[in-house]
Amino acid sequence: MEREVRVRFAPSPTGPLHIGGVRTALYNYLFAKKMGGKMILRIEDTDQNRFVPGAEDYIIEALNWCGITLDESPVTGGPYAPYRQSERKPMYMQYALQLVESGHAYYAFDTAEELDEMRERLKAAKVATPQYNAITRATMKNSLTLPEDEVKRRLESGDPYVIRLKVPRKEEVRLKDMIRGWVMVHSSAIDDKVLMKSDGMPTYHLANIVDDHLMEITHVIRGEEWLPSAPLHVLLYRYLGWEDTMPEFAHLPLLLKPDGNGKLSKRDGDKLGFPVFPLRWTDPFSGELSSGYREAGYLPEAFVNFLAFLGWNPGTQQEIFSLQELAQEFSVERIGKSGTRFDIQKARWFNEQYLRAKPDAELATYLLAALEEHQITCTPEKAEKIAGLMKERVSFPQDFWQEAAYFFVAPTEYSEKVASKKWNVQAVEVFQDFKNEIPALADFNADAVKELLLQILERRGMKIGQVMQALRLAATGAEAGPDLMQIIEVIGKEETISRIETAIAKLGHYATA
RNA sequence: GGUCCGUUCGUCUAGGGGUUAGGACUUCAGAUUUUCAUUCUGGCAACAGGGGUUCGAUUCCCCUACGGACUACCA
């Protein structure tokens, strides 16, 4: 009987979730959906010193924004609650003690100074990897070296202690990674990891094994930075007697900085010229503000599509995938092995694709919202028309206002380039006729306006190309934009006349020849 | 330093013992257009290097180089 697939995303609430974390969550989610399983959020807050207020809410909001739904979480609860490790604190000690009793772990009383001293000593002796291990533990203060009664005395008197895993001296530890195949590590490369800290909290290593087991997690999909400690986790499953239900592992390739120089990290903030966080974040201690994809104008569908392709591909030519389609096509086998450089250009391209696929009416809401902020009234019909004219030329929702303000506000400045090249006496004469004859137009629409302009030009033996740029300048101040006749139709009769008059007055000094 | 992981166009990648090594982003050129953008067409551009194995290797194996991760009472 196959077990139901259960995966977890297990972030630590030490700040905003960064984009690599979002991708890990996404892959977990896609895998769960593909397999008809459950997606669980577990908060790994065993380090009380690094707790950051608001981080957990941020994580949940970010996942929510992406459309990643949680079957079990600290908020929704679930059959394996609680989902915060701090709230599971009483559960861990018994397993650590079980390991002590079975001889796979021991008490250690060394102070931080003594540990430093040990490392310094080994370093001075040119030991390649100074670590608390099968050899050095014999020289340290622990329940393997101290007399039994002293250990007992120390424990009873409340001396601070940790519990360390007793890693065997020589043993080949193998684990099968779904992405990388068999990975072999010699136990001598693993040190006697602390399982229980002196504050009574477990470390990540113990907590994640205990929780994954208790929560019946079947697949652990996490970043490659965990690969070196994965063999240690295998050892823990073995010593705890849980090896037969041990989850399968998949270690995801890392997200690298655009120059390939190191992994993308929270600390990169906005230094790279693009956000590394899904949502904007204000650091509660320093007040430092970091930008987010949501606020930058990325559509969640585009963001998710882009993220999914950073390290995974469907093996077909299709690039645009909804979250549902991704879940349908997703497979761990198609995840790449090598680190992926982050390319913001591609993210932008995805955003444009999704923007263009939206109906004009929906795009109009972006414009309407911006107009409201600027206290400009506009009918939904007009906004929809403008959205339709602009959609092929914007990358972000905010561009509708930024690039199309001239639909509502008369230009105050004119492109110097176009003015000097295209604004001349001949054009001005055409515009004089044009604005004088506009009032007679029965229907003020793009076709009629164009017809009128064509008539005037014909009378003067001119071609449309000779005046269009200048007319665009008069109407919008800009050198480029959507169909000018459409713009004029939207601006309206009076405003068009007024803008032409203003331009003739203001640009007079260019019309000398 | 040690351990582990990785390496196909600038970037994301497909492919896989015999292919004109395919696509997308970027970029360039042309077409369309009243401009710019879009769109369309086309171009530039890659198997890190060296050894094997093989009739044949980019593909399999080894070594080197390079890159990355890890190396805490952090996750």
The C-alpha atoms of residue A303 and residue A507 are separated, in whole angstroms, by 45
With CA of A486 and C1' of each nucleotide, the nearest comes out as: B34
Q: SS3 of A238, please?
A: helix
Q: Is the pLDDT of residue A221 over 90?
A: yes
List the Cα angle A101/A227/A5 in 5-degree steps: 80
Is there a catalytic annotation at residue A435?
A: no
Residue A225: inside a domain:
no
pLDDT of residue A260: 83
A491 and A418 share one domain: yes
Q: What is the Cα A127 distance to its own chain's centre? A: 41
Report which of residues A128 and A42 the model is more confident about.
Answer: A42
What is the percentage of chain A residues whose pLDDT exceeds 90? 87
- The 10s digit of each residue's pLDDT in A459-496 is 999 989 889 999 999 999 999 999 999 999 999 999 99
Which residue lies nearest B39, CA-to-C1' measured? A392
Give buried/exposed letters for A191-204 (b at 16+ CB in 10 A, else e): bbbbbbbeeebbbb
A499 and A369 share one domain: yes
**Cβ contacts of residue A359 below 8 Å, gap of 6+?**
none
**Positive or negative, the Cα torsion across A401, A361, A356, A270?**
positive
A154 and A196 share one domain: yes
Inter-CA distances, A381 with A337, A368, A410, Å: 50, 11, 20
A388 and A505 share one domain: yes
pLDDT of residue A272: 87
Q: Residue A336's pLDDT band (boundaries 50, 70, 90)?
A: very high
Q: How far is the CA of A202 from the C1' of B17 (A)?
A: 52
- Residue A201 is given by DSSP the state P
pLDDT of residue A1: 54
A381 and A494 share one domain: yes
With CA of A317 and C1' of each nucleotide, the nearest comes out as: B23
ipTM of the complex: 0.95
With CA of A394 and C1' of each nucleotide, the nearest comes out as: B37
Give buried/exposed letters for A44-80 (b at 16+ CB in 10 A, else e): bbbbeeeebeebbebbbbbbebbebebebbbeeebeb
Q: Is A126 annotated as a binding residue?
A: no
Q: Residue A513's pLDDT band (boundaries 50, 70, 90)?
A: low
Strand B positions within 7 A of protein Cβ atoms: 1-8, 10-15, 23-26, 34-38, 67-75
With CA of A43 and C1' of each nucleotide, the nearest comes out as: B75
Q: Is the pLDDT of residue A199 over 60?
A: yes
A8 and A68 share one domain: yes
Q: Residue A266's pLDDT band (boundaries 50, 70, 90)?
A: confident
pTM more than 0.90: yes
CATH of the domain at A187: 3.90.800.10
**Number of separate domains in chain A:** 3
Q: How far is the CA of A225 from the C1' of B3 (A)?
A: 13
A340 and A373 share one domain: no
A285 and A338 share one domain: yes
With CA of A45 and C1' of each nucleotide, the nearest comes out as: B75
- The 10s digit of each residue's pLDDT in A2-42 is 789 999 999 999 999 999 999 999 999 999 999 999 999 99
Q: Is the pLDDT of residue A239 over 70?
A: yes
A95 and A66 share one domain: no
What is the percentage of chain A residues whose pLDDT exceeds 70? 99
Q: How far is the CA of A480 from the C1' of B29 (A)?
A: 22
- The 10s digit of each residue's pLDDT in A139-170 is 999 999 999 999 999 999 999 999 999 999 98
Q: How far is the CA of A175 from the C1' of B53 (A)?
A: 29
Q: How far is the CA of A135 from the C1' of B4 (A)?
A: 22
A125 and A103 share one domain: yes
Q: How far is the CA of A52 from the C1' of B72 (A)?
A: 20
Catalytic residue among A34, A266, A385, A421: A266
- The 10s digit of each residue's pLDDT in A282-327 is 999 999 999 999 999 999 999 999 999 999 999 999 999 999 999 9
- The 10s digit of each residue's pLDDT in A52-100 is 999 999 999 999 999 999 999 999 999 999 999 999 999 999 999 999 9
Q: Which of A40-54, A102-116, A144-158, A268-282 has the lowest mean pLDDT?
A: A268-282
Q: Is the pLDDT of residue A269 over 80?
A: no
With CA of A260 and C1' of each nucleotide, the nearest comes out as: B67
Range of the domain at A399: 365-510
Q: How far is the CA of A455 from the C1' of B72 (A)?
A: 82
- The 10s digit of each residue's pLDDT in A342-383 is 999 999 999 999 999 999 999 999 999 999 999 999 999 999
The C-alpha atoms of residue A85 and residue A79 are separated, in whole angstroms, by 15
A142 and A18 share one domain: no
Inter-CA distances, A494 with A15, A96, A395, Å: 54, 82, 32
CATH of the domain at A337: 3.40.50.620
Burial of A157 (0-12, 13-18, 19+ CB in 10 A): exposed
A177 and A292 share one domain: no
* Mean pLDDT, chain A, integer: 94
pLDDT of residue A125: 86
Residue A271: inside a domain:
yes
pLDDT of residue A268: 83
Q: Residue A129's pLDDT band (boundaries 50, 70, 90)?
A: confident
